[in-house]
């Protein structure tokens, strides 16, 4: 759907208010921006006239242009925004960002568009913002390019290092390794992996080695790498370990993936999921099969979203500080906007949380 701007009735301008009062435009401007530059009485009269003419104050677009300052930061998300709101981890991240923007009195502009839409680059390119937070984007996608080409202050989140831009993230690889090692330590030798989509094509199904290695999304690639290393170190073939990729990060997709994995021979006794959302779906698939967790199959997730500690059984997972990630990223960006130069990238702590969904093989 295309949007045409409304041809609404004429709206009063600062100039007209000035003319009506017989003063200069500067004075009216000052009435709004520098009260000390004119007498109290005149200021009152300015506001009166403004109200009478239905003048709603200086136009933000003109002001932004003139001041070269938008008063907002852009948040660019990997996928459709509506998915972000459906993903507890992303919501927590945005919450963190919102804390930072509120501290700074800035707006938070959610830039629209999925990698599958054409208008996307234009959206990021056209955003009236002072800086970007780029969150978990396919690293070579057009969206990220569009954002970077603006050459605005930018903070990368869950992304590979790029052009010496400051970044915030966790040690995805190490964390993934830790979950896998935990399960190996419990004696498991037959694994199945439930993964995010590994490329921008929306495909669901088993992924070959090539596809796993060149996963488009940085966190996916690092996590798979962590699993792979741990398994190989434990004498388990990564190549023969099935990896089922899900087009979308919803529990239901995870359920389907787990169903597929459970039908394989030999049946995995441990399922590693790249997110809790997917792991929760896997839990359901196992239950529906009449199997029990963790007696028949162990399941581990990633993210430690609130639901992970409320499921039955409660989910073994990797805890990472989602809110803090957003907060850090937001503050870093604000610092850059304030002219502070060298922002250091940060790796936030994460750790394995063992709960009821994993047990001995």
Partner DNA sequence: TCTTTTTACTAAAACGTTACAGTCTAAATC
Partner DNA sequence: GATTTAGACTGTAACGTTTTAGTAAAAAGA
For residue 71, state whether it binds a copy of itself (rule: CB under 8 A).
Answer: yes
- Which CB sits closer to DNA, 30 or 320? 30
The span from the CA of 84 to the CA of 112, in Å, is 11
Minimum separation from the CB atom of position 285 to a copy of itself (A): 18
* Segment contacting a copy of itself by CB under 8 A, of 40-48, 75-83, 219-227, 255-263: 75-83
- Which CB sits closer to DNA, 13 or 345? 13
Q: What share of the chain is helix, strand, coil (3-state, %, to 5)?
A: 45, 15, 40
* Segment contacting a copy of itself by CB under 8 A, of 91-99, 222-230, 233-241, 353-361: 91-99
Print the binding letters for residues 21-60 with a copy of itself: x by CB under 8 A, - otherwise.
---------------------------------x-xx-xx
Q: Which does 26 bind (CB under 5 to 8 A by kind): a copy of itself, DNA, none?
A: DNA
The span from the CA of 137 to the CA of 122, in Å, is 16
Minimum separation from the CB atom of position 336 to a copy of itself (A): 7
* Segment contacting a copy of itself by CB under 8 A, of 125-133, 156-164, 267-275, 288-296: 125-133
> In a 3-state reduction of DSSP, which class is residue 92?
helix
CB 168 within 8 A of CB 332: yes
Which helix (H) or strand (E) segment holds residue 244: the answer is: strand 243-245
Minimum separation from the CB atom of position 145 to a copy of itself (A): 11
Q: Which does 42 bind (CB under 5 to 8 A by kind): DNA, a copy of itself, none?
A: DNA
199: phi > 0 → left, psi -120 to 50 → alpha, else beta; which? beta
DSSP state of 306: G
For residue 68, state whether it binds a copy of itself (rule: CB under 8 A).
Answer: yes
The span from the CA of 94 to the CA of 110, in Å, is 10
**Residue 312 in tokens:** 């039955």
- Which CB sits closer to a copy of itself, 71 or 321? 71
- Which CB sits closer to DNA, 13 or 204? 13
Query: What secondary structure, in 3-state letters, does 137-193 show?
Result: CCCCCHHHHHHHHCCCCEEEECCCCCCCCCEEEECHHHHHHHHHHHHHHCCCCCEEE
> In a 3-state reduction of DSSP, which class is residue 326?
helix
Q: Which residues bind a copy of itself (CB under 8 A)?
A: 1-7, 11, 54, 56-57, 59-65, 67-72, 74, 80-82, 84-86, 91-92, 94-95, 98-99, 101-114, 119, 122-123, 125-130, 149-151, 153, 310, 334, 336-339
């Amino acid at each position: 759907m295309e949007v045409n701007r409304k041809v609404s009735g004429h709206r009063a301008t600062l100039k007209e208010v000035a003319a009506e009062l017989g003063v200069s435009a500067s004075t009216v401007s000052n009435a709004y921006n520098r009260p000390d530059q004119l007498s109290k009485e005149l200021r009152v009269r300015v506001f009166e006239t403004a109200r009478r003419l239905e003048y709603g104050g200086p136009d933000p677009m003109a002001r932004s242009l003139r001041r070269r300052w938008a008063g907002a930061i852009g948040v660019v998300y990997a996928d459709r925004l509506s998915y972000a709101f459906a993903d507890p981890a992303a919501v927590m991240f945005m919450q963190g960002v919102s804390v930072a923007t509120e501290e700074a009195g800035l707006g938070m502009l959610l830039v629209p568009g999925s990698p599958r839409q054409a208008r996307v680059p234009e959206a990021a390119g056209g955003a009236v913002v002072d800086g970007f937070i780029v969150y978990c984007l396919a690293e070579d996608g057009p969206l990220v390019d569009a954002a970077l080409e603006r050459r605005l202050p930018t903070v990368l989140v869950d992304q590979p290092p790029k052009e010496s831009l400051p970044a915030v993230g966790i040690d995805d690889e190490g964390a993934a390794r830790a979950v896998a090692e935990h399960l190996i330590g419990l004696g498991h030798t037959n694994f199945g992996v439930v993964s995010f989509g590994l490329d921008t094509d929306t495909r669901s199904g088993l992924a070959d080695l090539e596809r796993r290695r060149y996963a488009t999304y940085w966190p996916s690639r690092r996590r798979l790498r962590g699993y792979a290393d741990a398994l190989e170190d434990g004498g388990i073939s990564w190549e023969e370990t099935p990896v089922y990729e899900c087009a979308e990060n919803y529990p239901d997709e995870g359920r389907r993936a787990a169903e597929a994995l459970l039908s394989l021979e030999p049946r995995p006794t441990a399922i590693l999921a790249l997110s809790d959302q997917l792991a929760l779906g896997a839990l359901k698939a196992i239950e529906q099969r009449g199997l029990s967790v963790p007696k028949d199959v162990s399941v581990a997730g990633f993210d430690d979203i609130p639901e992970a500690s409320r499921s039955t059984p409660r989910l073994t997972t990797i805890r990472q500080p989602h809110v803090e990630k957003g907060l850090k990223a937001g503050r870093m960006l604000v610092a850059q906007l304030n002219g502070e130069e060298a922002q250091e990238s940060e790796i936030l702590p994460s750790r394995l949380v063992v709960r009821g969904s994993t047990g001995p093989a």
